[in-house]
Amino acid sequence: MRKFNFSAGPAALPEAVLLQAQRELLDWGGRGCSVMEVSHRSPEFTEVAETAEQDLRDLLAIPQNYRVLFLHGGATAQFSAVPWNLLGGGDRVADYIRSGHWADKAIVEARRYGQVNVVASSEDRGFTYVPGPTSWRQSENAAYLHYTPNETIGGVEFDYVPAVTCPLVADMSSNILSRPVAVEKFGMIYAGAQKNIGPSGLAVAIVRDDLLDRALPGIPRSLNWKVAADAGSMDNTPPTFAWYLSALVFKWIKGQGGVEAMAEQSLRKSSLLCGFIDRSDFYSSPVERGSRSRMNVPFTLADAALDHLFLQESKAAGLLNLKGHRSVGGMRASLYNAVPVEAVEALLVFMAEFEQRYA
């Protein structure tokens, strides 16, 4: 019997997708072999790749002047790829919003290749809020502005898209496909697959055509978006199984009603959990209201000495991976698209019973 998985990533996948992959693992489409055992250049896998791209285009209404890339290395590789690909157009200054752990990682990498201007930071209150645009200090001629719409560890999420004149770059690893996105407002969007798309090891990138010729000299071939775009993401052997599973997830999201349905469900799940926490004297949220993530909900217990017992008993109750990140502590429930409302309802029952016993 499957349990409810609140892992921050690699995260839960839709059960229907896992069951289909299980059925096809040894005999994919009647071919007598696995999808992992066929050439990525075969007509059969080319169809998977093309269908995956079209389904993602449909889900996010991606304009035709954007390329969709399926890349190696997850989002972390894109921390380097972004400056490599965008700082060669002249001005080597990049603007970054510092909103937490993953924004910090991106900033460290960008400083290897050019000057970074931190437009705004929420460090002053422990990265517990989204910095508002009134406090920004933007560069006059930035090559791009990078931000992290959802911080998985801190549990903060932007409720707006920054308005900038330079290309806007977003690391949407933990909230992509959870609500509609106006892609035309962005120069580039990237996302590690292992939260709302598929298994780890794959990153999806959406790049506007005019940004494919701005790379720094000497850019590694494996990080060059133009090389990937020209080769249909197959300059070398791609992570085919991750691509295949992602294609199944895109179909599943379509079947659920698309990103509009995911947005409605995300709001319902996070509202249930955050509302319960706010009504409790035993649990509390470290994130300021108005900045709370719909995807990742951190919370603490009134007595941290009970943390281990909470994790022990929640696991026994079939509620998995609720431990907070090691840098933050406490608990964290990640509510990605594949986590059903029933999982949150079960978590609330457990939290209420735990509070009654130990408060």
**Claim to verify: residue 285 and residue 350 sit in the same structural domain:** yes
Query: φ and ψ at 67, to 5 degrees?
Result: -95, 140
In a domain, 10, yes or no: no
Report yes or no on 9 lying in a domain: no
pLDDT in tens, 278-320: 999 999 999 999 999 999 999 999 999 999 999 999 999 999 9
Is residue 28 located within the same domain as residue 105?
yes
Q: Identify whether the C-beta of residue 69 lies closer than 8 Å to the C-beta of residue 233.
A: yes
Q: How far is CA 64 from CA 53, 54, 186, 208, in A?
A: 12, 11, 14, 9
Q: Are 22 and 244 in contact (CB under 8 A)?
A: no
Q: Tell me the residue range of the domain where 320 lies.
A: 258-358
Domain identity same for 33 and 173: yes
Half-sphere exposure of 47 (CA within 13 A, CB side): 6
* 307 counts as catalytic: no
* Residue from 95, 171, 225, 269 carrying the catalytic annotation: 171
Residues 252 and 304 in one domain: no
Do 148 and 228 lie in one domain? The reply is: yes
Residues 208 and 293 in one domain: no
Residue where one domain finishes, among candidates 223, 256, 289: 256
Residue 67 inside a domain? The answer is yes
Last residue of a domain, one of 223, 241, 256: 256
pLDDT in tens, the chain (359 residues): 899 999 999 999 999 999 999 999 999 999 999 999 999 999 999 999 999 999 999 999 999 999 999 999 999 999 999 999 999 976 689 999 999 999 999 999 999 999 999 999 999 999 999 998 887 888 988 999 999 999 999 999 999 999 999 999 999 999 999 999 999 999 999 999 999 999 999 999 999 999 999 999 999 999 999 999 999 999 999 999 999 999 999 999 999 999 999 999 999 999 999 999 999 999 999 999 999 999 999 999 999 999 999 999 999 999 999 999 887 889 999 999 999 999 999 999 999 999 999 98
Number of compact structural domains in the chain: 2
Task: Look up 3 and say whether it is catalytic.
Answer: no
Residue type, position 110, single letter = A
Considering the domain architecture, whether residues 234 and 278 belong to the same structural domain is answered as no
| CATH code, 200 | 3.40.640.10
CB 191 within 8 A of CB 204: yes
Same-domain status, 251 and 262: no
Same-domain check for residues 345 and 279: yes
Give dist(CA 236, CA 17) in Å, integer.
27
Q: Is residue 66 part of a domain?
A: yes
Domain of residue 350, CATH code? 3.90.1150.10
Which of 256, 279, 309 is a domain's end point? 256
Q: Which of 28, 84, 95, 195 is catalytic?
A: 195
Specify whether 116 is located in the same domain as 141.
yes
- 102 catalytic, yes or no? yes
